[in-house]
Structure 1
Amino acid sequence: MEKIFKPVSGYLALIIATLGLVGGIVMLINSSGHSGFVLPGIILIIASIFVFKGIMVVNPNHSRVCVFFGKYIGSVKENGLLWVNPLYSTLKISLRSENLESSKLKVNDKLGNPIEIAAVIVWQVQDTYKAAFEVEDYDHYVKVQSEAAIRHLATTYPYDQFEDENATITLRDGGEKVNDMLEKELNDRLAPAGIIIREARISHLAYAAEIAGAMLQRQQATAIVAARYKIVEGAVGMVELALEQLSKKEIVKLDEEKKAAMVSNLMVVLCGEKGAQPILNTGTLYQ
């Protein structure tokens, strides 16, 4: 459990140590005429160095974990020039937010498709005691657990809905939901190290190189089929409207065979990819 330790101001200790050091040096200089100044001078210098050792500077968004012969004393988060027991050993821990950009990981999604995924993570030390004593190296711990969380997320959901049409969340279309789930899992994994996740975002997501070409062709084919469906649907409506208007206004009377020929011609014109080339018929439909 983290304990906040508030040391005394270091300015007074700095003044005392400086005066003691100067006084000790002066005594040693004058010891040639007064031999009794030698021992007090040496003691004063040693005491001044001892006081100097307890002076420390804590910068903004930094902390010091203080330990006294293996016993945790507390964490110093106050900024400025401070003084603690010179026998304390201290460990510097930064409280600033840090960025972690994971490498591109090659994993299989929920359906077994090989994909590449990477994320950008913003993390910060929240509990200095856990960061210092609960894990061996909290910085390395963050990197390893972040990679594990990204891999687990990738295997939990499909890349898209091509093979799993009933999927409510996919990696490609999940957006903020996927990022929120990644952030939650990272917080759960890194809590033992006293780390909090400020933000987590998927920065790279793609099919692996060996299937990327095939998946691209599949997406293109799906898009072509969808476009053709819309074209045919519109063409049928236009043909239906044309026949209805011709019959309503009695512009021309068409029997079933002529209607079939007209429908065929209109469908070819409306669904064709190239512009229609008209052909003049100098005879009749039956010649």
Structure 2
Amino acid sequence: MKSQEKTRIPPSGYLALFINGLILGGFITLISLSKNPIWLLLLLPWILMIPGFFYVNPNGSRVLVLFGKYIGTVRENGFYWVNPFYAKKRISLRARNFDSERIKVNDSIGNPIMISVILVWRVKDTFAAAFEVDDYENFVRVQTDAAVRKLAGTYPYDNFDDEQADVTLRSGIKAVNEDLEKELDERLAIAGIEILEARIGYLAYAQEIASAMLRRQQATAIVAARHKIVEGAVSMVEMALDQLKEKEVIDLDEERRAAMVSNLMVVLCADKDVAPVVNSGTLNH
């Protein structure tokens, strides 16, 4: 969308203030010398000039409007004077933080989650911010909420239920934040808002399923750990049998070989310390 903003640099306010002082001084001098009430008319231009004074702080702006007609935007900081009938709307150009409320939404597979975002934004086009939307600050809040709901419905929270998902809200933070920033940039462009940064600030399962999901995550972690333990134990048992055979330490038949494998697997895979049993007889007794 093409910007309709027009930048203006009005006359210095100090010169107008000097002229206003001369008018006031002339009125006081003439009224004191002649005592003629006609000199009260000098107060009219003095009073009319006062509303024309204004100032602009660094990273601030004033949008000038004359009876519904857009005149321009003053971006350069300083003290100015303009037509007293101009309406002067103040719009800050500073970067602002917006931490949205935590809202409950459903992810792409229907799980209820709690999510919030942190948004850094600023006004880029003062004309759009002043005239394209009714209240640009409220517009940012509403559109951010809508963008978060859309984003949450696009991705799963994790890939427990969808193992084919390459990007999830929990693991694909970079890709998700990029999509969020792009979505917000498209939504807020109409209001002349520039997105500096957008990222997920809070993400968790909703309270009603949080405990169940936690148990599922714990079970998955335990299964994964057991899988690694079994893989290592099998490798160690295989290595032990090969070395016993290679060094001819003992000749094991199939029955004794199976017993040794069983004992070694119990020792290596047990989650508690194993109490050894010393056999003082033969292997068969």
TM above 0.5, yes or no, is: yes
Q: Which amino acid aligns with 1:25?
A: I
How far apart, CA to CA, are the structure 2 residues paired with 1:164 and 1:28?
A: 88
Corresponding position: 1:133 with 2:131: yes
Q: Equivalent residue of 1:167, what SS?
A: coil
Indicate the residue corresponding to 1:12 in structure 2: 15
Map 1:187-266 onto structure 2 (within 5 A). Answer: 187-266=185-264
Deviation at 1:90, TM superposition (A): 1.3
For the 8 Å contact 1:182–1:200, the answer to whether it is kept is yes
Q: Which amino acid aligns with 1:218?
A: R
Indicate the residue corresponding to 2:80 in structure 1: 82
* Partner deviation per Cα, 1:192-222 (whole Å, 9 max, x = no partner): 1111111111110000001010111101111
Deviation at 1:52, TM superposition (A): 2.2
Deviation at 1:284, TM superposition (A): 1.9
Deviation at 1:148, TM superposition (A): 0.6
User: Which segments of 5 or more consecutive residues in structure 1 lack a partner in the other structure?
Assistant: none
Runs of 4+ in 1 over 6 A off after TM superposition: none
Indicate the residue corresponding to 1:148 in structure 2: 146
How far apart, CA to CA, are the structure 2 residues paired with 1:280 and 1:90?
A: 95
Indicate the residue corresponding to 2:60 in structure 1: 62
How far apart, CA to CA, are the structure 1 residues paired with 2:112 and 2:78?
A: 52
Q: Equivalent residue of 1:112, what SS?
A: coil
How far apart, CA to CA, are the structure 2 residues paired with 1:21 and 1:180?
A: 60
Corresponding position: 1:279 with 2:277: yes
Q: Equivalent residue of 1:160, what SS?
A: coil
User: Which segments of 5 or more consecutive residues in structure 2 lack a partner in the other structure?
Assistant: none
For the 8 Å contact 1:236–1:267, the answer to whether it is kept is yes
Deviation at 1:27, TM superposition (A): 2.3
Map 1:17-28 onto structure 2 (within 5 A). Answer: 17-28=20-31
Deviation at 1:234, TM superposition (A): 0.7
Alignment RMSD (CA, Å) = 1.1
Indicate the residue corresponding to 2:69 in structure 1: 71
Q: Which amino acid aligns with 1:29?
A: S
How far apart, CA to CA, are the structure 1 residues paired with 2:24 and 2:179?
A: 59
Question: TM-score, length-normalised on structure 2?
Answer: 0.96
How far apart, CA to CA, are the structure 2 residues paired with 1:9 and 1:190?
A: 35
Indicate the residue corresponding to 1:50 in structure 2: 48
Q: Which amino acid aligns with 2:13?
A: G
For the 8 Å contact 1:25–1:45, the answer to whether it is kept is no
How far apart, CA to CA, are the structure 1 residues paired with 2:198 and 2:34?
A: 67
Identical amino acids, percent of aligned pairs = 59
* Partner deviation per Cα, 1:25-51 (whole Å, 9 max, x = no partner): 23223343xx3xx21x22222111212
How far apart, CA to CA, are the structure 2 residues paired with 1:225 and 1:241?
A: 24
Indicate the residue corresponding to 1:177 in structure 2: 175
Deviation at 1:96, TM superposition (A): 0.8
How far apart, CA to CA, are the structure 2 residues paired with 1:164 and 1:90?
A: 55
Corresponding position: 1:104 with 2:107: no
How far apart, CA to CA, are the structure 1 residues paired with 2:263 and 2:125?
A: 77
How far apart, CA to CA, are the structure 2 residues paired with 1:253 and 1:60?
A: 89
